[in-house]
Structure 1
Amino acid sequence: MCVYNFLDGISYSNAHFGAGSGKIWMDDVACSSSYNKLIYCPSSILGTSNCGHSEDAGVSCQAPCTDGQIRLAGNTNVPQEGRVEYCLNNNWGTICDSSWGATDAQVACRQLGYLTEGAIAYSSAKFGSGTGPVYYHYFGCSGSEATLSACSKSSGSSCSHSRDAGVRCLVNSTVNCTYGDVRLVGGSNQYEGRVEICINGIWGTVCDDSWSSTDATVVCKQLGHSYTGSGVAYSNAHFGAGSGKIWMDDVACSSSYNKLIYCPSSILGTSNCGHSEDAGVSCQAPCTNGQIRLVGNTNVPQEGRIEYCLNNNWGTICHNSLGSN
């Protein structure tokens, strides 16, 4: 069947769900909303068509939903983040980002069966604009509610889909690797390397767009290298190019974060980077009081700036009275 005019559901053409075989029974279908069976709709003569199976028609119907049910849409890479959609009167709609915050995101994640720890609230239709009604202008969750429907809320004034609210949740997954874990690969020791992060059991890299020493320090803290020094950020695949998925881009950590996955970023798995832009870090290695090292000459190890360790932190020595002894 091809060239159709379905008024309910989403219509697909060009064998979107694969080409069929055998007879093409209907063509030039012209249903109206009053029909409840396809065969009742006017069409060309049954079995007569100028189509091939490359033009087979398809449809996507809206699944029924219950009031207060929510779902995430807009990211096909991972299921645990996306635009928050809310069901009311058996119809899906969106939520306005006015007052949408961390406690609202935590409740949404809890309702969906994800972890509330590290939930991130997004605004301004980060995961694309939805369709249909915008149900609520305001949510006032305390963070302890089991569902969004249990939170105080208000329809409020009008809100456009350009302000659709979104969320990123964490999952309790330990398949192959633990969700949100990071590791350093390609460095000369355990304190440096290309940053890789585990998402849904798969290791991937981080793009160096906006990658900074603050982001690097968060990675170092997550790995247990939480000393007073800060991490050094590297770009352009300094520790070699990775492979597979680039999970994070446009990372924007603040110093208060202690895990990279908690930091705002672009949509997980969506990036305008190649692996030639993989981000890396160098963390401060631990030291013992009185230990010294030479820094500043990569050509030979026996000369350089003297650095001294005190309270597990490297510092320098003033040249006053420093002599040959």
Structure 2
Amino acid sequence: MALLLFLVLAIGIRPGFLEFPSGVRLVGGPHRCEGRVEVEWKGQWGTVCDDGWRMEEVAVVCRELGCGQAKSSPSGLLYSSSTENMPNILIQTVDCRGMEDTLAQCKLEDVFDCSREEAAGASCENPESVRLVGGPTHCEGRVEVQHQGQWSTVCNTGWNLRAAKVVCRQLGCGRALLTHKQCNKASQGQGPIWMSQISCSGQEAALQDCHLGLWEKNNCTHDEDTWVECEGAFELRLVGGDSHCSGRLEVLHRHVWGSVCDDGWGEKEDQMVCKQIGCGRSLSSSNKARKSYGPGVGRIWLDDVRCSGEEQSLEQCRHRFWGYHDCTHKEDVAVICSE
């Protein structure tokens, strides 16, 4: 017990918050290296209070995420349209020297007096070597890679869905939906064509991990530029309730919020939703909750969702293809969480 108390005092956290956060991410920014700081603790994602938040802490976050140099420490409010949709604060104070490899190595203090309006943010360099341009979001567009400090296009010779999966994963987007063999005239690139003859297994973490042909050694023209479409970063919300932790479930797809059908939906799926939005555990069955919030309108995006309980987000659960269902809005899922 004495040793445990010594460790608690040494790392600067109070009893009740003895486990280190198991992950960190930046949410709501223009790319994965800028946004509101969120940490994962006991399977729940939450924000960090900006009390004492400095460039030293930002530097550690940037290092942990592989995002290059720290640029600034903006307010987390810049990356959320409403504090009601933000997860709970999980850490009150972070004290880093700036040389740590992970945020968990810094001194951490449990929450005792902090509101969502005080969420911390971080802005790092964006060292990504691949991007999608010319589309409506960063998850759809013409494939470009950076080589020798210059961005330019990728020839579609050898390109397939496996390569598209790698790009979508690398950019923090959802699943690859479509890979066009070529762009139309309006979306073609200019300048050099750096890469062709790409061969990916689909499991690589980044495009540069695939087998690549020789840089700038190809006979391609911009008529053969590659276009990729990914699902957007997976977002969900509960609407119509007293807080963001209760209501009818909606998911965002193609910039449109839509509901989820309750076919096959059960306790594991309820718990997954509450966990993902940082609202504790489910308090009520979906059947009861659905009667409380009524039917939705518009699109029904998901049906036959099946979770094993081991997934980290609803996106990883099994479900039909987006928009395919045999439901009406009388079957919309609703969830009540413990908050």
TM-score interval w.r.t. the shorter chain?
0.3 to 0.5
| TM-score normalised per structure 1 | 0.38
State the TM-score, normalized to the length of structure 2: 0.36
Larger RCO: 1 or 2 (CA < 8 Å, sep 6+): 2
Higher helix share: 2
Question: Looking at CA atoms only, which structure, 1 or 2, has the larger radius of gyration?
Answer: 1
